[in-house]
Structure 1
Amino acid sequence: MSSWPLQKLAGGLWVASSFRPRQPADEPTRGKMRSSCIVLTAVVALAAYYVYIPLPSSVSDPWKLMLLDATFRSAQQVSNLIHYLGLSHHLLALNFIIVSFGKKSAWSSAQVKVTDTDFDGVEVRVFEGSPKPEEPLKRSVVYIHGGGWALASAKISYYDELCTAMAEELNAVIVSIEYRLVPKVHFPEQIHDVVRATKYFLQPEVLQKYSVDPGRIGISGDSAGGNLAAALGQQFSQDANLKSKLKLQALIYPVLQALDFNTPSYQQNVDTPILPRYVMVKYWVDYFKGNYDFVQAMMVNNHTSLDVEEAAALRARLNWTSLLPTVFTKNYKPVMQTTGDARIVREIPQLLDVRSAPLIADQEVLQHLPKTYILTCEHDVLRDDGIMYAKRLESAGVEVTLDHFEDGFHGCMIFTSWPTNFSVGIRTRNSYITWLDQNL
């Protein structure tokens, strides 16, 4: 029997005297609970409003993409605040955030040896597959990371993991170039870096050091890295002094022109993450050290209007009404201004430089390019850049593989590991490496 003294309640029920019937909460307590609920509801609603963006149902893992986009937007806003306060350039601040959370040291495994070094003064990270007695010489890929010429690094986990997978699955030597970024340098310094590092690597004594077959070397890159890879490919195809020629080029959702920001893919994906049109145009302006006042005019093609004589000769090379299949043009109409702002091209002549816009190269240049792989994504402003380049290369007699992903979005190929693992990221990476395996 309980040692507690008993107390008789109304109705004959005996309870321990320590028991106290529950008293209703007083008014101040109820008020605090209501306030907490209101605040919590407001916070959840604001978070949902911030994260949610309308996405097409066909895009891979839409809710995960919304969260990824919200994270990136938050980092951008923090970097913009830092810039506004005069503490640092917004691109330096943003890249500091990206690299701080994602930098990975050169870690080797039994399958892949990873080392950091420099090629003719340009930092590189080299990934070497395990030696095989039956294959004394390895194939090789020179890889150029993306990031709008301003962000990311060969040493962040996304690119380290991609290049490690390439080295292991292809039993290859992967050279990932750590080129200098905006705003520390601007066009064409990024191109100079990748050209210098690649030329150094192609020297016979360097290839011998890494046991690389000089006849089995390719160039590759994603996004802005695809732009640099395409520019390098064109330059090398015309260089008679190069003893080792590239066997192939593989361009992953490359950015290839800055003359028309109203192709069907730009119109369709104007606000689609990870790369809305406004952001892409700003990357171009930053690359050329231009004036942000030009961004809005460039978004409506005022920089290449009919009265801008400098752009007249190049329009046919970007005529998407003839270069794109109808499945991509859909019902979109060309945006061609009768009168615009000729001052933009005069102040930023780099817009018309073939080194920045490989898509506008002469046909005579294109016909000397090696076998080409181009990966494009439906939900990407740069989709049509890649498709038009594939068409122009094909017309020039180049063997081209166009690999299009209907549920893909810009940048998806590097998102293959938790928590940013996307189904389309894994499929694009597998498809890319498989093509390299079959063609290199």
Structure 2
Amino acid sequence: MGTLARVLFIPVICAVMGYYLYTPLPDGLRQKSRIQLFYAKHKISSLLISMGVKLGFGSGIELARRYQHYTMVSPLNDENITVTNTTFSGIPVMIFTPNTVSSKSPAIVYFHGGGWMFLSSGTKSHFTNNLYRKSQINVLNTYSPYIITSFSYRLSPEHPFPAAFDDCVTATVHVLQNGHKFGVDSDNVGVAGDSAGGNLAAAVALRLSDEKESRLPKLRFQIIIYSVLQAWDFKLPSYTHNEITLFPSSVMIKFILPYLGEVATDENIAVCLSNNHLTPALKKSKFTKFVDQSLLPPQFRRTPPKIDDVLNTTLAKRLETLIINPYAFPLMAKDLSRLPPAFVLTCQHDLTRDDALMYVERLRKAGIDVQHKHVTDAVHDFFLRAPNNDFTYDVHLETLSDLKVYANKYYK
């Protein structure tokens, strides 16, 4: 290649790469450059995974999981914490125990995000470690800490609903019944999770609150961080006004369908995007009031877009009972009055925003004490970033501080 050709070729390649790596983002985001950097890194990894699939190294899911394992799992070095890998009722768990733990300490049971398809307690161990370190109670320079347990529940598509939910319920019950064996005060346990993990935390809280005759200790709280709580309406304002390139509505549906045991074909995704995945009976049922814009604060309401009523009967029939199953989608629960207090975090620029806003309103109407934090200058997954790395968001650290105050409020 001649000198002139190289001079012309290199700028063109740089321009193409810059165009490919650039993600349009809404105005008003704090630390916008860091978000752009994270999205660029994600696009590069996605490109490498796609190349690996074409070269026959495995499926996209397999390669993505391998990539996450090699890039996100590393030894945890903290002289104040002991990290134990074990199992609860056969479910892999990581226990973060302070070395100064008392005989009975409060605990948070944490469920990781990842669309029910990716990540694990191992890939999010640094995040969980920082959640632990940032949530201590410091009294007279001594720690009065609590333990955090993080579970690796079974993932879709290999294990669709209710596998992950069942694992999370089983593991939480194990903590409530056997906490004394690893220093946990079973009367002081709360559940928490982000994204799909928040869905599971809300579902576990609902399931345990339904145990009317149970002798299990009651959960002290639920912490729900930007979570998927319904699959009824994909035309809510948060879905139609937050189509960020990296995480559009179609990607969310690619996670939801496998979780429900369905294949995320282009046709099935299109059906869901147009809200034609609901049977006529469901559209006329009492469940319509559980996902309704009247539950949103006035400033978030929008005129619903017109939808072509072209039903995919086969898919709708298969999804009919799953869409309204409250353990799959807690917003569909008829009765929320027995749930523990809730800390609910929503993001302005997030597809799941309206799910959680409706959950907040329904909890309040049910008489549940709710603390709602709405973040206006961040996007979905900001809480995944571990502190002290290039992708840390200030709002992440602020939220950790909020969670510390909140948890301590409800521990006895």
TM-score, normalised to structure 1, is: 0.85
Q: Aligned residue for 2:201?
A: 229
Larger radius of gyration: 1
Distance 2:349 2:153 in 1: 28
Matches of 1:139 and 1:49, distance apart in 2 = 49
Separation in 1, partners of 2:310, 2:215:
45
SS at match of 2:378: strand
Q: Output the amino acid matched with 2:9.
A: V
Please name the residue that 1:287 is paired with.
259
Query: Is the contact made by 1:79 and 1:91 (CA closer than 8 Å) also made in structure 2?
Result: no
Match of 2:140 in 1: none
What are the residue-to-residue correspondences of 1:210-249 with 2, within 5 Å? Answer: 210-239=182-211, 240-249=213-222
- For residues 80 and 289 of structure 1, the distance between their equivalents in structure 2, rounded to whole angstroms, comes to 24
Q: 2:26 pairs with 56, 75, 85, which one? A: 56
Structure 1 window deviating more from structure 2 (187-196 vs 337-346): it is: 337-346
Describe the SS at the equivalent of 2:397: helix
Cα root mean square deviation, aligned: 2.1
Per-residue CA deviation, residues 248-296 of structure 1 (Å, 9 max, x unaligned), is: 00001011011111111111112354x3211001101121231313101
Where in structure 2 are the equivalents of 1:149-298 lying within 5 Å?
149-156=116-123, 157-165=125-133, 168=136, 171-203=145-177, 206-239=178-211, 240-273=213-246, 275-291=247-263, 292=265, 293-298=267-272
- C-alpha deviation, 1:78, in angstroms: 3.5
| 1:339, distance to aligned residue in structure 2 (A) | 4.2
Q: Which residue of 2 aligns with 1:116?
A: 85
Which whole-Å CA distance do the structure 2 matches of 1:395 and 1:71 have between them?
A: 42
Specify whether residues 258 and 398 from structure 1 end up closer, same or farther in structure 2 by C-alpha distance, changes over 3 A only: same
Q: Give aligned-pair identity as a percent.
A: 28
| 1:9 aligned partner | none
In 2, the alpha carbon distance for the partners of 1:100 and 1:312 equals: 48
Q: 1:202 deviation in Å? A: 1.1
Q: Distance in 1 between matches of 2:283 and 2:61?
A: 30
**Do 2:209 and 2:339's aligned partners in 1 also have CA atoms closer than 8 Å?**
yes
Q: Which residue of 2 aligns with 1:424?
A: 395
Q: Give 1:59-138 correspondences, 5 Å limit.
A: 59-83=29-53, 87-105=57-75, 107=76, 109-131=78-100, 136-138=103-105
Q: Does residue 110 of structure 2 align to residue 143 of structure 1?
A: yes
**CA–CA separation in structure 2 for the residues paired with 1:97 and 1:168:** 32
After TM superposition, where is structure 1 displaced by more than 6 Å over at least 4 residues in a row?
none
Q: Secondary structure at the match of 1:303?
A: coil
- For the 8 Å contact 2:165–2:204, the answer to whether it is kept is yes
Which letter does structure 2 place at the counterpart of 1:184? E
CA distance in 2, matches of 1:299, 1:70: 26
Contact 1:95/1:152, CA 8 A, preserved across alignment: yes
CA distance in 2 between partners of 1:150 and 1:236 (Å): 24
Structure 1 residues 231, 268: closer, same or farther in 2, change over 3 A?
same
Aligned length: 398
Bigger mean CA deviation after superposition, 385-394 or 169-178: 169-178
How many Å separate the matches in 2 of 1:367 and 1:131? 37
Letter matched to residue 233 of structure 1: A
Q: Secondary structure at the match of 1:233?
A: helix
Contact 2:131/2:400 (CA < 8 Å) preserved in 1?
no
Q: Matched residue of 1:125: which SS?
A: strand
Q: Distance in 2 between matches of 1:354 and 1:337?
A: 27
CA distance in 2, matches of 1:251, 1:208: 26
Q: Report the CA distance shift for 1:158/1:60 in structure 2 as closer, same or farther (over 3 A).
A: farther
Q: Distance in 2 between matches of 1:384 and 1:272?
A: 19
Taking the aligned partners of 2:43 and 2:306, their CA distance within structure 1 comes to 29
Amino acid at match of 1:267: T
SS at match of 2:100: coil
Change (3 A) 1:158 1:302: farther
CA distance in 2, matches of 1:429, 1:71: 25
Correspondence for 2:327 among 349, 355, 359: 355
Does residue 393 in structure 1 map to residue 366 in structure 2?
no
Q: Letter of the aligned partner of 1:164 in structure 2?
A: Y
2:308 is the counterpart of 1:340: no
Structure 2 vs 1, CA of residues 111 and 355 (structure 1 numbering), >3 Å: closer, same or farther?
Answer: same
Show structure 1 runs of 5+ residues with no match.
1-30
The alpha-carbon deviation at position 160 of structure 1 amounts to 3.6
Identify unmatched segments of 5+ residues in structure 2: 138-143
Matched position secondary structure for 1:149:
coil
Partners of 2:157 and 2:72 lie apart in 1 by 20
Q: How does 1:357-372 map to 2 (within 5 A)?
A: 357-363=329-335, 366-372=336-342
Moved more, 286-295 or 246-255: 286-295
